[in-house]
Amino acid sequence: MGRIFEGQINWPAAPATSVRLSCPPWPVTTDPPNEAEVRKELQLLKRYKSPGLDDLLPALFKDGGDFLTKELTVLFTKVWELESVPTSWNESIVLPIFKKGSRRSCNKYRGISLLPIASKLLASVILRGLFKTRD
């Protein structure tokens, strides 16, 4: 299975360019995520998505209530302070998804990565924070 996606994953490095972009400074908060931000992402989480290697379903996170929101906020704050995520958050399951055409052709599949829900939540909190400061 690994060879199927080898051509899709192992791209050569992009060539170095000497283009300089001029952008005004972008003020970004360095504060760790707060409960309101975590709660917002939990509300936006899609209930019926697939879990990652940890087998924790999105529904578990959505139904965790205030207790889980507080615990996730504590966890995300710890990750923020240590500037390091749990190693299991760096692992994913890559599944082949058939597009169309001949099922015998490897080119007719695309891969999707199933990531741990907690890592997706933290990434969403960070991304929303960046959008908020940019708007």
CA angle 53, 117, 55 (to 5 degrees): 35
Cα 16 from Cα 24, distance rounded (Å): 23
Cα 86 from Cα 67, distance rounded (Å): 21
pLDDT band at 35 (very low <50, low <70, confident <90, very high): very high
Q: pLDDT (tens digit, 9 = 90+) per residue, 53-64? A: 999 999 999 999
* Claim: this prediction has a pTM higher than 0.85: no
Residue 103 parent element (H or E): none
Structure tokens belonging to residue 103: 């099922």
In sign, the C-alpha dihedral spanning 40, 30, 113, 90 is negative
Q: Which residue has the higher pLDDT, 129 or 68?
A: 68
Measured CA distances, 25 to 21, 63, 85 (Å): 12, 40, 27
Cα 29 from Cα 133, distance rounded (Å): 8
